[in-house]
Amino acid sequence: MGQARPVRNGAATFAVALGLMLAPGSARAQDDGGWLSAFQLLASSPELGGSDVPRDIPVRKGSRASVVPPEVMARVLKEPVPRPVPTASADESGPVVAPERSGGVPVYAEAGELQRSGSLEEDVPSRSGGRVSEPRVRLTQDEAPLPPFKALPVVVAVVPGLLLHGAGAWAAGDTATAKQLFTVEAVGLGLIGAGLVPIALTGASRRTIGPLYAVTLTGAGLFSMSMLANLYGVISPGLGQGKVPSTLPPLEFDLGYQRVSDATADYRNFFALGVVARLEAVQLEATARLAPDEGNTWIRAGAAYRLWGAPEQALGSGDGTALDVEGFATYHRYPTEGFTVGGGELSLRGRYAMSRLSPRMAGSFAEGSVGLSYQGYVYPGPVADDNLHGQLLYTFGYGVWLGRGGPFRGEAMLYYDHRKDGLVGGLRGRGGGIVGSFGLRGRVLLTDHWGVSAEAQAGGALMGRLSLVYAVGGDT
């Protein structure tokens, strides 16, 4: 009997509270000159999931709070889902009372991304006479600040960082990024070994060299990516991080000069021509190199289709990560030597935003492609069996986006190209084999319509190019 009294008292209290909530004229509180029922106050509380209430319900005259119909609240209370903390809509002004974190720090919600405010100020009185904590955490569109630049991590990223990738991030105190880079390096070294050992055991058999080369080059690409990311992660705080362009022009032309230094050929000077058309998920591209004196002519034309990722006319809607399938036709005429090469190629090209690996890598990307080409040689004389030739196409590189918004936008990338049939050719290795070429290329729009592009490449020959870019359409 001693325990029955609290039960009856609790039931009576619940009945009184329920009557106060449902009675239309009972238990009201003042809110900036307007009046809210106890039901409406309870409906907007975090304990009962007020944030689940639709935002477009009418606002009571003279009050900033919304009038919640009982049927809406009944539906919300019946739904067995987690109840998020209530947030303020973007058009509301002033602080919002919300559950506090440890240390008495409340949460302040506005439209945008989470960012901590600068100082912790004393509680300020509210207009209704109570005290409301000043917001300590705000949601804004501003990005988080870059980590501070330190000289020691840069030194460590070089020695021993060129061999132990991740050492620079570790010296900067970012152990999570360091572990990721060490893992990528280890995977890269494993793939290099998995490709080179069978190549040596099979004597570089033509039956297996293609897939084994692809495995080896994938490992080399991952190893190079982790090495360059290790350097970028500690240097970028001092230089700033670029952003993915919000959009690129639908049509671009470029005209420039290209110089090729090849000890086995007489041609040196070329006109460099190019055009790019961006049509939603499809990109059309054509380039030509014309030697006016000797007559050497190289043409490449084709298209790329974006399988995954934001199209280049709407890059701002993504982080730059994308996957394309490409198909091109090539034609190369050698008038002095007396033969012509022509064929087609098909490949997959992917780009990965390094910010997905670590926020420290924001503003940079890794790129790679793999494919096959099939070409035929035409020259005077009888046709031989070796007139047709297949080739593995493989490229990988590490790049950065240039510009932080506005008309100035572009990118630059260090890369390796495994093909050997271009104007540059390939490098001869110590074991007698031929590898591809290494290069650096960049392109930037300085205004809405004008920009420059440049490239330097070293393989069997040396090449340098500088072009003027003109963009048609797009943002003006």
Model confidence pLDDT, tens digit, residues 146-171: 778 889 999 999 999 999 999 999 99
Residue with the larger pLDDT of the pair 51 and 140: 51
Cβ–Cβ under 8 Å, residues 110 and 90: yes
Q: Do 320 and 458 lie in a common domain?
A: yes
Supply the CATH number for residue 325's domain.
Answer: 2.40.160.40
What letter represents residue 388's amino acid?
L
CA distance 226 to 161: 10
> What whole-number percentage of the chain has pLDDT above 90?
46
Q: Do 104 and 245 lie in a common domain?
A: no
Categorize the per-residue pLDDT at 238 as very low, low, confident or very high, splitting at 50, 70 and 90. confident
Residue with the larger pLDDT of the pair 248 and 75: 248
Residue 294's pLDDT is 84
Q: Do 280 and 420 lie in a common domain?
A: yes
Residue 163 within any structural domain of the chain = no
- Tens digit of each residue's pLDDT (9 = 90 or more) over 86-133: 444 444 444 444 444 444 444 333 333 333 333 334 444 444 444 444
Categorize the per-residue pLDDT at 368 as very low, low, confident or very high, splitting at 50, 70 and 90. very high
Residue with the larger pLDDT of the pair 12 and 467: 467
Residue 265's pLDDT is 83
CA distance 424 to 458: 7
Handedness of CA 274, 279, 280, 285 (dihedral sign): negative
Residue 64's pLDDT is 46
Cβ–Cβ under 8 Å, residues 354 and 368: no
Range of lowest pLDDT (136-140, 148-152, 178-182, 273-277): 136-140
Residue 215 within any structural domain of the chain = no
Categorize the per-residue pLDDT at 8 as very low, low, confident or very high, splitting at 50, 70 and 90. very low
Q: Do 270 and 411 lie in a common domain?
A: yes
Q: Do 449 and 332 lie in a common domain?
A: yes
Categorize the per-residue pLDDT at 71 as very low, low, confident or very high, splitting at 50, 70 and 90. low
Cβ–Cβ under 8 Å, residues 354 and 366: yes
Categorize the per-residue pLDDT at 84 as very low, low, confident or very high, splitting at 50, 70 and 90. very low
Residue 19 within any structural domain of the chain = no
Q: Which of 157, 159, 192 is nearest to 177 (CA)?
A: 157
DSSP summary character for residue 279: E
* Number of structural domains the chain divides into: 2
Categorize the per-residue pLDDT at 430 as very low, low, confident or very high, splitting at 50, 70 and 90. low
Check pLDDT > 70 for residue 5.
Answer: no
> What whole-number percentage of the chain has pLDDT above 70?
66
Q: What is the phi/psi pair of residue 195, to 5°?
A: -95, -45
- Asked which of 140, 173, 190 is the last residue of a domain, the reply is 140
Cβ–Cβ under 8 Å, residues 267 and 291: yes
Element (H, E) at 231: helix 209-239
Angle at 119 between CA 118 and CA 124, to 5 degrees: 130
Provide the CA 16 distance to its chain's centre, in angstroms: 58
| Residue that is written with structure tokens 């280890």 in the block | 186
Categorize the per-residue pLDDT at 450 as very low, low, confident or very high, splitting at 50, 70 and 90. very high
Residue ranges in 159-204 assigned as alpha helix (H): 167-171, 175-202
Q: Do 323 and 439 lie in a common domain?
A: yes
Residue 276's pLDDT is 96
Which domain range does residue 412 map to?
Answer: 241-472
Residue 203 within any structural domain of the chain = no
Query: By three-state DSSP, how is residue 356 classified?
Result: helix
Residue with the larger pLDDT of the pair 102 and 455: 455
Q: Do 282 and 399 lie in a common domain?
A: yes
Residue 168 within any structural domain of the chain = no
Which pair of structure tokens corresponds to residue 166? 């991740």
CA distance 168 to 158: 8
Q: What is the phi/psi pair of residue 37, to 5°?
A: -75, 160
| Residue that is written with structure tokens 């494993």 in the block | 190
| Burial class for 95, CB neighbours closer than 10 Å (0-12, 13-18, 19+) | middle
Q: What is the phi/psi pair of residue 72, to 5°?
A: -70, -45
Residue 250's pLDDT is 94
Residue 433 within any structural domain of the chain = yes
- Asked which of 88, 121, 140 is the last residue of a domain, the reply is 140
Residue 364 within any structural domain of the chain = yes
Cβ–Cβ under 8 Å, residues 439 and 464: no
- Asked which of 140, 172, 189 is the last residue of a domain, the reply is 140
- Treating both helix axes as pointing N-terminal to C-terminal, what angle do 209-239 and 151-158 enclose, rounded to 10 degrees? 160
CA distance 398 to 382: 45
DSSP summary character for residue 401: E
Range of lowest pLDDT (115-124, 148-157, 221-230, 439-448): 115-124
Mean pLDDT of the chain: 77
Residue 475's pLDDT is 56
Query: By three-state DSSP, how is residue 453 classified?
Result: strand
Handedness of CA 416, 420, 422, 428 (dihedral sign): positive
Residue with the larger pLDDT of the pair 282 and 65: 282
What is the DSSP pairing of strand 409-417 with strand 437-445?
A: antiparallel
Check pLDDT > 90 for residue 456.
Answer: yes
Peptide bond into 160 cis (omega under 30): yes
pLDDT average, residue stretch 41-63: 44
Residue 384's pLDDT is 60
pLDDT average, residue stretch 355-381: 90
Range of lowest pLDDT (53-57, 77-81, 269-273, 277-281): 53-57
Q: Do 120 and 245 lie in a common domain?
A: no
Name the region of 48 (left: φ>0; alpha: ψ -120 to 50; beta: rest): alpha
Residue 108's pLDDT is 34
Residue with the larger pLDDT of the pair 427 and 101: 427
Residues with Cβ < 8 Å from 156, sequence gap 6 or more? Answer: 167, 168, 170, 171, 234
In a 13 Å sphere around the CA of 95, the CA atoms on its Cβ side amount to 21
Residue 421's pLDDT is 83
> Strands (DSSP E) along 213-363, which ranges?
251-261, 269-279, 282-290, 297-308, 322-334, 339-353
CA distance 354 to 362: 6
Query: What percent helix, strand, coil does the chain show, rounded to 5?
Result: 25, 35, 40
Residue 249's pLDDT is 92
Check pLDDT > 50 for residue 30.
Answer: no
- Tens digit of each residue's pLDDT (9 = 90 or more) over 173-202: 999 999 999 999 999 999 999 999 998 898
Residue with the larger pLDDT of the pair 111 and 379: 379
Residue 224 within any structural domain of the chain = no
